[in-house]
Amino acid sequence: MMKVVGEEGTAMPDFVQYLKAEFLDEVYLQQDAFHDVDGASSADRQKHVFSVIHGIMTTPLTFKTRDNARQEFLRWQQIAKDWNRIPMEKPEFKTTEEKLVHAVEQHRSTGEEN
């Protein structure tokens, strides 16, 4: 549908929904099979990571422009991909998680309305 009407013809909430789906695909559905940590995700880790991703998926987000939305999601994707490569027992795991959640939360609290 978006291919037919183009980005400009897509309502902002739908566009954000689309970006959320892309985010889920990039950071959760895809794994780097060649990376020791990202290549094998234990059940505990999956539960934990999924709960965070689920939180992001269900957080209402608002952006001024589509470019701004895309930029933010790309930034979060990068943080989440780095997070996927950190062993769960390392302190960096927690800090990166907080960084991701904070980035999303900060945007929600300060984000401009559509």
Partner 1 sequence: MNDASSHTPKGTIDGVNGNLIRVTFPESVMQNEVGYALLGDLRLKAEIVRVRGRQCWLQVFEDTAGLKVGDPVEFSTELLSVELGPGLLKSVYDGLQNPLPELAEQCGFFLERGQYIDGLNRETKWDFTPSVKVGDVLSAGESVGSVPEGLFTHRIMIPFDWRGSFTVKEISEALTCTVDTVIAKVEDGAGELRPVKLFQTWPVKKAIKAYDERLRPTENMTTQVRILDTFFPVAKGGTYCIPGPFGAGKTVLQQITSRRADVDIVIVAACGERAGEVVETLREFPELEDPRTGKSLMERTLIICNTSSMPVASREASVYTGVTIAEYYRQMGLNVLMLADSTSRWAQALRELSGRLEEIPGEEAFPAYLETVIANFYERAGLVRLKDGSIGSVTIGGTVSPVVTSRNPLPKVPSKWWEPSTVSAANARINVVIPPSTLWRAGVNIPVWWIPKNWIRPDAVCGPVAMWNK
Considering only residues 46 through 65, tell me which ones interact with partner 1, judged by CB under 8 A. 46-47, 49-50, 54, 57-58
Among 42, 60, 89, 113, contact with partner 1 (rule: CB under 8 A): 42
Least distance in angstroms from the C-beta of 57 to partner 1: 7
- CA distances from residue 81 to 25, 28, 37 in whole angstroms, order as listed: 11, 9, 11
The four Cα atoms 71, 76, 55, 66 give a dihedral, to 10 degrees, of 10
DSSP-derived secondary structure letter, 42: -
Q: Give the interface with partner 1 as residue ranges (CB under 8 A).
A: 1-3, 14, 17-18, 20-22, 24-25, 28-31, 33, 39-43, 46-47, 49-50, 54, 57-58
